[in-house]
Amino acid sequence: MTYSVRKKPENTKEQRYAERFAKLLNEDMGLNLEAVGYYLVRNNPIIAYKRLEVMSLMAGEEYDTLMEEMKG
């Protein structure tokens, strides 16, 4: 029989930001995300877009990894 070793939950700055970001995205499901993207690019420095792009790419890779793990 195999026993899993549970790790103590960490509360890193990145985890807190991810939780806040997800909360913002999920609090209003009627929000026009295309308009948010438009204003993100038009009203903020380009670095905001580039950082969001990095987050999106990483989230996509992690999602793919998670789906492969769930398949077995």
- pLDDT of the chain along its 72 residues, tens only? 455 556 666 789 999 999 999 999 999 999 999 999 999 999 999 999 999 999 999 999 999 999 999 997
- Dihedral, CA of residue 18, residue 37, residue 68 and residue 5, to nearest 10: 0
Does residue 49 contact residue 40 with C-beta atoms inside 8 Å? Answer: yes
Q: Is residue 43 part of a domain?
A: yes
| Cα–Cα–Cα angle for 28, 12, 18, rounded to 5 degrees | 20
With respect to residue 68, please indicate whether it lies within any of the assigned structural domains.
yes
Count the domains in the chain. 1
**Which pTM does this prediction carry?**
0.73
Question: Quick one: pLDDT at residue 61?
Answer: 95
Residue 3 lies in a domain: no
Q: CA dist 18 to 24, 29, 39, 72, Å?
A: 10, 18, 21, 27
Domain that holds residue 66: 32-72
Residue 48 lies in a domain: yes
User: Given this model, what pLDDT does residue 67 score?
Assistant: 95
Length of the chain measured in residues:
72
Q: Tell me what pLDDT residue 11 has.
A: 86
